[in-house]
Structure 1
């Protein structure tokens, strides 16, 4: 009997040792952690202008599409600013059209004055020739010379007028550009009176109500991005040497029993969680107990499923026997 009990005890010990060995082998090949949490991009929704809320178009936990109107602000002041800026632009454009006509007229005057000067110069030259031959009077010569001088002065005046007309056109163009910039700014402010969803997602922490006065860039609520989900799994530092980017990962989320998600290792944390805490642990004493540190491993999900919630607890297991695939 004693012999049989000894054999039984030996068998149990051997079986236990074998079980421990295979468990250790499994853990070495498939490191896992239950210190994992579902994460998503959480976008802060804030207006880009200050104003009074006239309507809130969403409710808490509502799923919205990109571009959906979330809430609107009183746009009376901004609409008036746009109207005034549009009128200013239109007025300057009409002025520009009139100045363009003045350039046309000034150009015609220069053309006419140029031709008149040429005629006057030729006449003065002929008179001087005749005067030298004794075939013209001195009075005629003086008159034709004076006419040529007047024609030259008229051409100078016409050219100055054309230069001023061109300068006025350029100045008007600058004014139009400035006015258009003011119009664009006013239109942008008016557009910002309607706050839209930047991405598809779920509304969270909504307390905004019509009638509230909100300040520019002051957060009002959050939008959980529906298109980008991942799991932050905190693995023991002894597991990290076997974990590399691209390895497949299976994830079991506590709130989704029976559902196994798949993903890939995207990256490994550069520091332990305690390293980034407000008061990092300082083990400078001689009697401290060494604690295995944990490092966050970012796991991208292949196909997020309905029912995921940000912050949900999960179990993550990495298959270190597989070939890494680009995440």
Structure 2
């Protein structure tokens, strides 16, 4: 099988071109290997940026955790998840379990039997009379419920009737 001189010349040119491309690629490979051979993954800019974002997220999470100084229940929560607040803003009330206070209103006719420091026994409607709580009277109010009411009592008829007041 004989080939022409022209075909042989094209084949040699193609071979030379392919060898040249191979040499270029091998040089690029050796250059790339030399550039990354001593490079650690952690020094890559994308990895450094991701590590910085992780640190920021960790700090944000650590700063968003609120720890109460007492054991208790959260009441009157005034913030929602994701809401931003300023330092010093009241976010909730915590009711401590080791020191509960009861604010009770008694009739003024019952006050004669009450003294500060007097022991008391309390039951609630929630558990019935089977569960009793013990405590002491801490203070007695200085005014009646009507003195502290937001709206005064209406006496449209002009009748004067003595109503037993409740004292907080």
Question: Unpaired runs of 5+ in structure 2?
Answer: 1-58
Identify if the C-alpha distance between structure 1 residues 208 and 242 changes in structure 2 by more than 3 Å, giving closer, same or farther.
Answer: same
Q: 2:164 aligns with which of 292, 299, 306?
A: 292
**Residue 275 of structure 1, CA deviation:** 0.8
The number of equivalent residue pairs is 108
Structural mapping, 1:178-257, within 5 Å = 195-204=66-75, 205=77, 207-210=79-82, 212-257=83-128
Whole-Å separation in 2 of the counterparts to 1:284 and 1:242: 35
Whose strand fraction is larger, Structure 1's or Structure 2's? 1
Whose helix fraction is larger, Structure 1's or Structure 2's? 1
Residues 208 and 220 in structure 1, CA contact (< 8 A), matched pair in contact too: no
Q: Which residue of 2 aligns with 1:264?
A: 136
Tell me which stretches of 4 or more aligned residues in structure 1 moved more than 3 Å: 280-286
Whole-Å separation in 1 of the counterparts to 2:156 and 2:80: 49
Whole-Å separation in 2 of the counterparts to 1:197 and 1:262: 26
Q: Which residue of 2 aligns with 1:323?
A: none
Residues 275 and 281 in structure 1, CA contact (< 8 A), matched pair in contact too: no
Q: TM-score, normalised by structure 1?
A: 0.29
Q: Which residue of 2 aligns with 1:41?
A: none
Structural mapping, 1:288-327, within 5 Å = 288-296=160-168
Identify if the C-alpha distance between structure 1 residues 54 and 235 changes in structure 2 by more than 3 Å, giving closer, same or farther.
Answer: same
Structural mapping, 1:136-155, within 5 Å = none
Identify if the C-alpha distance between structure 1 residues 228 and 196 changes in structure 2 by more than 3 Å, giving closer, same or farther.
Answer: same
Q: 1:278 aligns with which of 134, 150, 154?
A: 150
RMSD: 2.8
Structural mapping, 1:97-136, within 5 Å = none
Whole-Å separation in 2 of the counterparts to 1:284 and 1:244: 37
Whole-Å separation in 2 of the counterparts to 1:219 and 1:265: 29
